Copies of this chain bind each other. A is one copy, B any other.
Amino acid sequence: MDDDAFQDRYPEELSHCYGCGRLNPDGLQLKSYWDGDETVARFRPRSNHTAVPGYVYGGLLASLIDCHGTGSASAAAARAHRGQAPPRFVTASLHVDYLRPTPIDAELEIRGVIKELKEKKVVVSATVSADGVVCARGEVVAVRMPESMLQR
C-alpha cells in the first residue's frame, strides 16, 4: 500500500467531508489506499453506530462505500494522468446491497475495484467485509466535481 491516503491529497478546501475529510474532527475520517489495482480502506465502527444492537446501521456502510468510491475515483484519475493533481469527484449515484448483518465490534475492510474510467466519470464497485466475510456490496458512479460547487 502507498503511504499517502487518497483523501489526504485533497486540497484544504475540499477536506471537510464528514465521511472522509481530514479537517472534520467529528467525522469518520476514512482513509483509502491502493493495494495493487484494488483500493482498500479500514474502519472501526464507533459503539453508537448501531442499527439493531450488535450490528452497524446501514447509513454508515453507505457512507463508507460512498467516500471510498469517490476517493478511489480521484486516485484512479490521478494514476491515469501522472503528474496531474488528484481531481475531486462527487457521487452521481450509489447502490448498496446489504447481504448480511454487519457486526459492530469488528474492523471493517472496504475494497474497491475500478470498473470504468473516463475523464469525467469513474465507476467503482466495492465490498465491505468483517472478519473476512462480505457483508455489503455496492457501486458508486462518481463524476468530476463541477467548479460551481466551490462558489457557494
Contact = CB atoms under 8 A, between A and B. Distances in A.
A96 interface: yes
Contacts of A91: 58, 96, 98
- Consensus secondary structure, chain A interface: mixed
A13 B91 CA distance: 34
Contact of A55 (B57, B92, B93, B149): B149
B48 A149 contact: no
Nearest to A139: B95
> What class of interface size applies to chain A in its complex with B?
35 or more
A66 interface: yes
Contacts of A50: 16-18, 21, 24
Task: Indicate how many identical chains form the complex.
Answer: 2
Contacts of A55: 149, 152
Interface string A5-42: 00000000110111101001011000000000000000
A59 B96 CA distance: 12
Contact of A48 (B27, B59, B103): B27
13 contacts: A17-B51, A18-B49, A18-B50, A24-B50, A27-B48, A58-B66, A62-B63, A62-B96, A93-B97, A94-B98, A95-B95, A101-B149, A101-B152
